[in-house]
Structure 1
Amino acid sequence: MAPDPQLVSDLPQTASNVLAAITTVIDGKPEAAAMALTVMIAEGHLLIEDVPGVGKTMLAKALARSTGGSVSRIQFTPDLLPSDVTGVSVYDQGSRQFEFKPGAVFANLVIGDEINRASPKTQSALLESMEERQVSVDGRTWALPTPFMVIATQNPIEMDGTYALPEAQRDRFMATISMGYPDERAELAMLRSREQSSPIDSVQPVVDAEGIKALIQAARGVFLSSAVERYLLAIIRATRSHPSLRLGASPRSTLQLARAARARALIDGRDFVLPDDVAALAVPVLAHRILPTRESLGRGLGESQTSAEIITGVLDSIPVPRD
């Protein structure tokens, strides 16, 4: 089903409004803001990985406030329990029945702050929620609200007191981005503008949950030609036979790269996907899902940098369809 032409024509302005709201809080990071919005429209989840203090949580808050809907925040700590995330059944003395008390995951947008500070058992509480958009407790299943998105932040895994996310959980995140330090102009503007108040307090919703649902539905109908499909698949399959990788991209990544490309095209006001959409999203969507060999890590770049280099090399080796 093709997206509504009126919706396609209106979306660039809506997206521009959302991005403008986010950039009032996050100075000098338009790419990070655009990636967060792309993942939301593509029905994915976003992992923001960087050192403390560069605005990871602030970006998540800004997106939440600008898009409306219900929002919850989970501060991941070593003593956090899985039931704090998913919910728990509590015995009601009056009715003499167990009553389910929903956890923090029951919201349109869930902010998981410093997810790698919780134990692996607690981290795994999000696996079912992120993939199936439901929670199973005591033999019963509860559906999560629509739309549903998890934005998790984490510090580099080399830091003290952290637990590396397992491959199965990293694969459930559609994309991973790094904020990086702001440039001098942006940091100077931040220094001057935040002396009196925080800009997050003035962010207002520019689209509600129903509007996000409509955008998600429209993105599903964006046209993906057979030539672009083959190009996308060639990238995925190249990672599975790459000599510098011991784990290539999963079939889930094939679907999520396609969804992200459709969302990016819709944000740009197109009802079709270009090869450029796929190429631009390949690193954030694929780099966190692959595992470099020990030999390739010997150069001392770090796993994330090595993975990004490998994906970039794969893109350079695959012909771009021109027709």
Structure 2
Amino acid sequence: MSQTAPVTPGPTTPGPVTPGPVTIRRPSPLVEIARRAAASRNFVIGGVLTLLFLGIAATSLFWTPLDPTRMSIRTRLQGPSDLNLLGTDQFGRDILSMIMTGAQNSILVGVVAVGIGLSLGTALGCLAAARRGWIEELVMRFSDFAFAFPALLSAVMITALLGPGAVNSILAIGIFNVPVFARVTRGAALAIWSREYVMAARLSGKGTVRITLHHVLPNIMSIIIVQATIQFALAILAEAGLSYLGLGTQPPTPSWGRMLNEAQTFIYMAPQLAIIPGLAIVFTVLGLNLLGDGLRDVLDPKLRRAR
């Protein structure tokens, strides 16, 4: 009987390889925001100036080179020295310590005043956009009436009626911020109320309050944050103006605006008394404005491409 030789299997030819689905990894939203923030020059410069301002104010809470209210007539109107790095004023007080404490006061006034305007104004703007009709008309006419008076003039009238002081300054600046946030919120919320997903939410039985909290506010929060940054800068400027006129923070608490007021008599004898608090106001407001512009680019890149 003949035996069949075993067949050695040869190399198998691989068939065509079917490519699998290609997965494209997109960066997380936080990573994308961080990239846009690093690429925005305004955001970086404004952030550095703002952090410097906040750091000085935070440091003054527990440390200043000297007591900012301590007077020493023997060392009045002196230039920079080892003991007084920025010199002394007409009462012998340390200018650096006063600048640091004045930053703390500016932050307090700005945060509380903007907080008042943001909370009340956002609520009124959302109410106007949701209800429309006579409620919207009433909110808008109130805003138009408030805008007829400049911010500083309104604050001067309110503090003149209620009396000078930090609390009344906060109240005056906060009242002016209410119509600002109301108009911004109402305009942004109207665009959201016309979206398809909001209409679907209404058809599903959601009420006005739930739609506002779950759909409208989260989508306009970036606009409100940017506006809050800008209003914070204006609040610091308004507080300095009121203190310059004697209607803001009262002695002995240091204030940048009152430092400017007291320095005008000695402008030729000791110009640093006006230059130093003036530069503090300029760089703080500049930093907050740049930060607000940078936040607009970071949170809404469509605006940056359009420009």
Instruction: Identify the TM-score tier after normalising by the shorter chain.
Output: under 0.3
Q: More strand by proportion, 1 or 2?
A: 1
Higher helix share: 2
TM-score normalized by the length of structure 2? 0.22
